């Protein structure tokens, strides 16, 4: 599918086009080993375990949560974004054990004008280094490009987050920028690596 508007009879209409997002009904995804399903209220206990874990949260740029209420707040935020079609987060579960959430993955900060979204992911430590995040990210990229019609996906990471950097590189992302001391957290200005992946099935439509 091409995104160039140059030769289209209704060029003005198309040039004002924006990404249309609709996550209803919820798009459940299956991979070889994983089920990416809707986050449910019963997942808040696992959300609490994951987001209160210092190792998981080390490079997230937020303090680990300390109360169940914060896990519920996270769940509510995810649900609101879904209802408003402003972002989607899947609970990651193993196919064999679909009730147990072992992580989350999402496309959020959707910029509809630019057909762009940010990807975020997190797994419980017991499931690291088994290729599970890679399996999930590859399918979410496919969903973003083929179902949502995104033109690009970005990821922001702490440069010392080697697991996340390796995961992004293993799934085709390229580090396009490195912002120095752009992120103030816990009394320090931290650097950010900005990664991006383009939907190569769409032309750029560049006119400049
Ligand atoms: C980032 C995270 C999701 C990676 O999950 P994972 O399931 O362990 O990753 P995978 O096993 O799919 O590995 C993907 C690639 O990264 C590499 N990798 C994974 N962990 C790594 C590490 N600690 N150091 C270096 N490379 C690593 C793997 O070797 C693999 O590369 P390959 O395909 O070329 O062999 C996981 O470490 C995590 O949840 N971290 C805490 C939350 C977090 O930081 N989220 C990202 C915020 S930006």
* Domain-wise residue ranges, the chain: 22-198
Ligand 1 pocket: which of 153, 159, 166 to mutate (most atoms within 8 A of CB): 166
- 170 C-alpha to ligand 1 centroid (Å): 9
How many other β-carbons are positioned within 10 Å of the β-carbon of residue 115?
A: 21
Tell me the pTM: 0.93
Token pair, residue 131, equals 């290729």
Q: What is the pLDDT of residues 7-41, one digit of tens each?
A: 544 445 555 689 999 999 999 999 999 999 999 99
CB 78 within 8 A of CB 100: no
Ligand 1 atom closest to 130 (CA):
11
The dotted CATH code for 22-198 is 3.40.630.30
CB 205 within 8 A of CB 11: no
Q: What is the pLDDT of residues 25-83, one digit of tens each?
A: 999 999 999 999 999 999 999 999 999 999 999 999 999 999 999 999 999 999 999 99
Q: What residues have CB less than 8 Å from 98, skipping those under 6 apart?
A: 35, 37
- CA-nearest of 201, 208, 178, 198 to 190 is 178
């Amino acid at each position: 599918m091409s995104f160039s508007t140059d030769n289209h009879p209704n060029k003005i209409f198309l040039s004002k086009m924006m990404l249309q997002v609709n996550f209803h009904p919820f798009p459940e995804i299956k991979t070889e080993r994983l089920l990416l399903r809707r986050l449910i209220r019963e997942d808040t206990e696992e959300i609490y375990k994951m987001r209160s874990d210092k190792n998981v949260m080390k490079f997230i740029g937020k303090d680990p949560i300390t109360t169940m209420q914060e896990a519920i707040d996270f769940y509510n935020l995810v649900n609101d974004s879904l209802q408003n079609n402003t972002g989607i987060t899947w609970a990651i579960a193993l196919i064999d054990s679909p009730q147990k959430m072992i992580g989350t993955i999402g496309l959020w900060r959707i910029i509809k004008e630019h057909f762009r979204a940010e990807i975020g992911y997190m797994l419980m430590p017991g499931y690291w280094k088994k290729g599970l995040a890679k399996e999930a990210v590859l399918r979410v990229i496919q969903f973003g490009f083929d179902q949502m019609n995104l033109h690009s996906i970005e990821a922001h990471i702490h440069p010392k987050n080697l697991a996340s950097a390796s995961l992004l590189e293993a799934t085709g992302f390229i580090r396009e920028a490195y912002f120095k001391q752009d992120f103030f957290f816990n009394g320090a200005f931290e650097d950010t690596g900005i990664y991006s992946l383009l939907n190569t099935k769409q032309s750029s439509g560049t006119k400049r």
